Structure 1
Amino acid sequence: MTCTPAQRRYNRRIIVLSIIYAAILLPVCWVFVRHLASGPLAYALGVAPALPVSGFFAVIGLYFVEETDEYLRMLMARQVIVASGLAMTVATFWGFLENFGLVPHLVAYAWPIVWFAGLGVGALVNKLIDRSAA
């Protein structure tokens, strides 16, 4: 299947942001493991890896704006809905279990990771629905 221009831009943007994320995260971890940052610098470095991750969400929004094929937009919308439902459900269950001392604390940046995994689940849902319709 050939990619639409919007899909090519989406893929290119995600790859660039992924490279930027790795380029930021690795040195930031190195600095913090060695306790080389404090004060405002530590806060700036602490949020730096979140910037490209936030960019991923913006790229998905841009895809919705730029994709002219309504069916492809619907498929992405379904993936986003599945991802959001999965991440929010897992976060809710985990939050209650954590509140009652039944599971350990989970860092907040785990929830976007669950959400991104949910995009994969959403892609699988799309594939299964497409197969059943054929």
Structure 2
Amino acid sequence: MIETDDRPPQKAYLQRMGISMGSYLISLGVGVYLVSRDLVDGPVVWLLALLPGLSIVGAFYAIGRLILDTKDEFIRMLIVRQSLIATGFALSVSTVWGFLENFELVGHVDAYWVAILWFVGFVIGAISNKRTYDAWGQLK
């Protein structure tokens, strides 16, 4: 079944992203607080560890829905281009770092940093769109 949404794509995106990032901040803060003080253990720790990651998955979902829901082809292309730049950036940095780590030249970095790199790349993609097409990717 195809989901329909009467909200403008950019507004729906901002709402979804707000919910995802709010959930991320709250779940991470609560999780770090409870675990660092040994107030929980067992399966609750697993749940607390999963919640921030699932919130980030929600952010990726918001971006995917924005691409699917955007009807203007130029704006959609800008968002896809931005996402491709982000993906290339995150995969490139994490791959090079992985080989440096494999040869014991740098320390280990937790895997969740790949998502952080992706979001940095998303900003780089937006800047690239602005410089290349003089557009950020939103309707006026």
Question: TM-score, structure 2 length as denominator?
Answer: 0.87
Q: CA deviation at 1:71?
A: 0.5
1:5 aligns with 2:8: yes
Quick one: which of 94, 98, 120 aligns to 1:95?
98
- Counterpart code for 1:126: N
- Counterpart code for 2:75: L
Partner SS, residue 60 of structure 2: helix
Q: How many pairs were matched up?
A: 128
1:73-97, CA deviations, whole angstroms, 9 ceiling, x for partnerless residues? 0000000000000000001100000
Cα distance in structure 1, aligned partners of 2:8 and 2:36: 42
1:120 aligns with 2:107: no
Cα distance in structure 2, aligned partners of 1:15 and 1:43: 24
Q: Which residue of 2 aligns with 1:38?
A: 41
Q: Which residue of 1 aligns with 2:77?
A: 74
- Counterpart code for 2:112: Y
Which stretches of structure 1, 4 residues or longer, exceed 4 Å deviation after superposition?
none
Q: Which residue of 1 aligns with 2:137?
A: none
Quick one: which of 100, 109, 114 aligns to 1:111?
114
Unaligned runs of 5+ in 1: none
Q: CA deviation at 1:121?
A: 0.3
Cα distance in structure 2, aligned partners of 1:105 and 1:78: 30
1:53 aligns with 2:56: yes
Q: CA deviation at 1:100?
A: 0.8
1:84 aligns with 2:87: yes
Partner SS, residue 39 of structure 2: coil
Cα distance in structure 2, aligned partners of 1:44 and 1:26: 14
Please provide the CA RMSD for this pair. 1.2
Partner SS, residue 48 of structure 1: helix
Unaligned runs of 5+ in 2: 1-6, 135-140
- Counterpart code for 1:39: G
Question: TM-score, structure 1 length as denominator?
Answer: 0.91
Q: CA deviation at 1:28?
A: 0.5
